[in-house]
Amino acid sequence: MSTTIATTLDLKGLSCPLPIVKTAVALRTLRPGEVVEVLATDPGSVADFAAWCRSTGNELLAHAADGGTYRFVIRRK
């Protein structure tokens, strides 16, 4: 199944807790099932997005590291 990305959040340069907080705020504007792509450079965000998705029930579809940039693809619960 191909994943259509509804919106991309460029959160590069931001530190904890802003990547999570801004993603959560943005997700409220999406409908359930819609997908957001997040770009971040905070190394802590790797663990944080996994924990946040586990806790909130939003689905972490993919995550990858490219140089110093981390990419997360998340489907809203």
Partner 1 sequence: MSQTTTDALPTALAEAQTRRRTDKLVIFTWGGDLDKVWPTLILATTAAAMGMEVLVFFTFWGLFPLVRNDVRLTGDNWMQKAMSLLHRGGTEHLRLSQMNFAGAGPAMMRKLAADHHVASPQELLELASDMGVRLVPCQMTMDLLGLKREDMIDGLGEPAGAATALAEAQDAITLFI
The residue among 16 and 65 lying less far from partner 1, judged by its C-beta, is 16
Task: Tell me: does residue 5 bind partner 1 (CB under 8 A).
Answer: no
Task: Tell me: does residue 55 bind partner 1 (CB under 8 A).
Answer: yes
Place of tokens 């993603």: 23
Largest CA distance in the chain: 33
Inter-axis angle of helices 18-27 and 45-56, nearest 10: 40
Task: Tell me: does residue 56 bind partner 1 (CB under 8 A).
Answer: yes
**What is the binding site for partner 1 (CB under 8 A)?**
13-18, 20-21, 23-25, 52, 55-56
